[in-house]
Structure 1
Amino acid sequence: MQTEELKVLVVKALEDMKARDIEVIDVRGKTSITDIMVVASGTSDRHVKALAETVAFQAKQAGETPLGMEGLSEGEWALVDLNSLVVHLMLPKVRDFYQLERLWKEPSLAHRQERPAP
């Protein structure tokens, strides 16, 4: 399955499960870990867990078996690793604390041009 198709599948699964504040971040060129990160919020620890399980199930049904899943026992933050796409699902307070969107949207230091001293 192509990365873009997987992204559409994941976002639709999250929308169907009423995830909040779904954000898609293209991290190609910023990390070799993955190409796309999807970040979304759940309303409770049970909701976060259900979101992760649904994403994993939908991906597997489409032929993309998750490489791993983390955080399902706690439910405050769950991660689903789909290789070219990583899904982070969090409670709003956890998401506010870690601010992954800000971290990955900011230009990387390697791409910033230094200004010469005056």
Structure 2
Amino acid sequence: MSTTPADTIQRLIDAINEREPARRRSLIEQTFTPDGAYTDPDDDVQGYDALDALFDRLQHQAPPELRFSLLGQVDAHHHQARFTWQYGPADAPAALATGGDVAVFHEGRIHRLYAFFDQP
């Protein structure tokens, strides 16, 4: 499957938002390398099981109407990309949270993902 960095980042957003466990796991495996890692100010996990547990925890901490979405375009070059996101209800006038991430790719999948949260 040939994809662009923007396609991979959208699949990441889809994986984080996915509440059905088997579908979420499939998206994670399509998006990350087997040793893929995610780091933010609160979490630092590596591997499919840890990523799945983290995304599952995020889903169980919030009501289903709260979702992540991309803000603007994915900016990519070489083996990396940066993007901004928002979190909140789709119909809300303002997001509950925003941030920016940097993804490092290996063979078309995310090898490392570094997430940064904007301060409220």
Say whether the fold is shared (TM-score over 0.5). no
TM normalised by structure 2 equals 0.27
TM normalised by structure 1 equals 0.27
The structure that has the greater radius of gyration is 1
* Structure with more helix by fraction: 1
